[in-house]
Structure 1
Amino acid sequence: MDEEKRISKTDYIYGMHPVMEAIKAQKTIDKVLVQSDLKGPNITELRRLLKDHKISSQNLPLGRLNHLYKKNHQGVVALLSPIEFQPYEEVLNKVYEEGRTPLFLILDRVSDVGNFGAICRSAECLGVDHIIIPVKGSAQINDEAIKRSSGALLNISVSRERDLAEVCQKLAASGLQLIGCSEKGEKNIYEVKYELPLAIVMGSERDGINSTIVKELNDMVQIPMSGKTDSLNVAASTAIILSEISRQRGGF
């Protein structure tokens, strides 16, 4: 979906100071559109706030911003997210406190909103406790994403992080096994046991799992196939491996 359609369907805040105050007030912001050639102390402060609060931004020329938004935006428009992001550490602690075995899903730059929505639907249906996405490179969480997930995004917790490799390190230190699913995997998904605390990592449609994340994995698995097509899309692959995990854990 292009920015023009997203603006028309998304709540937003405009203006330099209102946007900065919204960030400081911890409003859940999906993305901030910034005029490309803005300079000065205010834009420096805005970019610092965006970094500190893990909010993605996109630079646009003034003409494009004016086309998207007719009011006095001062070169800054914040698109509000329809969901509240949650710290993955808090979710993990809660799962452990409840005596359950964690199942986290890390999506490395899954950018297609259709795939992203379908994955979230499968995750919610098949027992995933939490989804982790990167600040940059992921599909935007907007009305379209919620629609594509059939509303599942409203029923599963999500966090947004700058460094997924660092997240993997912290999850490993908290007792989770990290397993990537890719056509490059050496093991069959049905040869692996999934009873331990677990984070499944799925890569982008184009590039797969980033090499910095691969280094943190305990295992890499693949889905066996017998047809002539050499791979499944990321949404189908995620549904298959989550289904196997649910089966092994007694979900059905």
Structure 2
Amino acid sequence: MPESNIIFGKRTVFEALENDVQIDKVYIDRDNQFMENIKRKVREKSIQISFVPIEKLNRLTKGNHQGIVATISPIKTLDLNSLEKSIIDNNFNFLILDSVTDTKNFGAIVRTAECLGINGIIISKSGSSPINGETIKSSSGAIFNIPIFKVDHIKDAIFLLKANEIKIVSADEKGENSIYDYKFDRKTSIVMGSEGKGISKSILSLSDNILMIPMKGKVESLNVSVATGIFISELTKEL
């Protein structure tokens, strides 16, 4: 069974049910006496349900399942044309991820972006985190509620945003200006890079502003999902 078609955890499966994700089958630990709300929703939607030994769930998910696993159709992603349509619909606040490959970080970023009102997340078809069960669980199901635009090249998306007068603000620890001294424009999108390499020079060169988060402790940098949360929070509080 392909991992990309598996989701697990009570919150994640519940969010999938709430958002009409196409669920093929639900597996529940046969010794679990709880999750009645989930069982009821599964039956209401006429989804096949199977009560199985916990060992089967462990094999499907490496043990991190909270007693429930479901198989779903792959998460739908959107293309560059869809991004253009979204901009036409007056959406300006996108999060661009350059080479963020860790699934847990990606999931946490998706959760934060959805919670704080980002209009969509832009990733590259290559060199990005896969969208699999780990990603979906880390997002607590938020990935079902936010558009994911998967493009051939990040630059193409940035050129499109800039052509529509959307400012590009990038996060870099060597940025000359503090994020706390910057006033975000309503039409702004944010670029975040991987923890190891940061944002590539070619992407940074397209930025309208490059900002850093001042570090006051002994640790020199933040986890990318935490840093992303700070940037999104600063952006959305100005809107």
How does the TM-score come out when normalised to structure 1? 0.64
The yes-or-no answer on 1:198 pairing with 2:192 is no
Confirm or deny that 1:9 pairs with 2:9. no
CA contact (8 A) 1:82 1:143 kept: no
In structure 2, what residue type is equivalent to 1:139? S
Corresponding residue number in structure 1 for 2:26: none
- Counterpart residue identity of residue 226, structure 1: K
Q: Paired residue for 2:44? A: none
Aligned-partner Cα distance in 2 for 1:147–1:218: 34
The match for 1:170 among 160, 163, 166 is 160
Aligned-residue offset at 1:94: 3.7
Which residue is equivalent to 2:25? none
The share of aligned pairs that are identical, in percent, is 39
Q: Calculate the TM-score normalised by the size of structure 2.
A: 0.68
Q: Which residue of 2 aligns with 1:93?
A: 85
Q: How does 1:122-141 map to 2 (within 5 A)?
A: 122-141=112-131
The alpha carbon displacement at 1:199 in A equals 1.3
Runs of 4+ in 1 over 6 A off after TM superposition: none
Q: For 1:9, give the aligned amino acid.
A: E
The amino acid of 1:86's aligned partner reads L
Q: In structure 2, what is the equivalent of residue 26 of structure 1?
A: none
The root-mean-square deviation of aligned C-alpha atoms, in Å, is 2.0
Q: How does 1:182-197 map to 2 (within 5 A)?
A: 182-197=172-187
Structure 1 residue 102, shift from structure 2 partner: 1.3
> 1:201-224: per-residue Cα shift (whole Å, max 9, x none)?
000121000111111110100111
Give the letter for the 2:208 counterpart. Answer: N
How far is 1:101 from its partner?
5.3
Matched letter for residue 181 of structure 2: E
What is the distance in 2 between the residues matched to 1:192 and 1:154? Answer: 32
Give the number of the structure with larger relative contact order, counting CA–CA contacts within 8 Å between residues 6 or more apart.
2
SS in 1 for 2:230: helix
Distance verdict in 2 for CA 1:220–1:82, change over 3 Å: same
CA distance in 2, matches of 1:116, 1:145: 6
Tell me the distance in 1 between the aligned counterparts of 2:237 and 2:188: 15
Aligned mates of 1:190, 1:157 — CA distance in 2 = 28
Which of 68, 72, 83 aligns to 2:75? It is 83
- What are the within-5 Å matches in structure 2 for residues 224-243 of structure 1? 224-243=214-233
Q: Note the 1:92-111 alignment, pairs <5 A.
A: 92-97=84-89, 100=90, 102-111=92-101
CA distance in 2, matches of 1:8, 1:93: 32
**Secondary structure in structure 2 of the residue aligned to 1:123:** helix
1:10 deviation in Å? Answer: 3.6
Structure-2 change in CA distance of 1:9 and 1:93 (3 Å): closer
- What secondary structure, in the 3-state scheme, does the structure 2 residue paired with 1:239 have? helix
Q: Which amino acid aligns with 1:247?
A: K
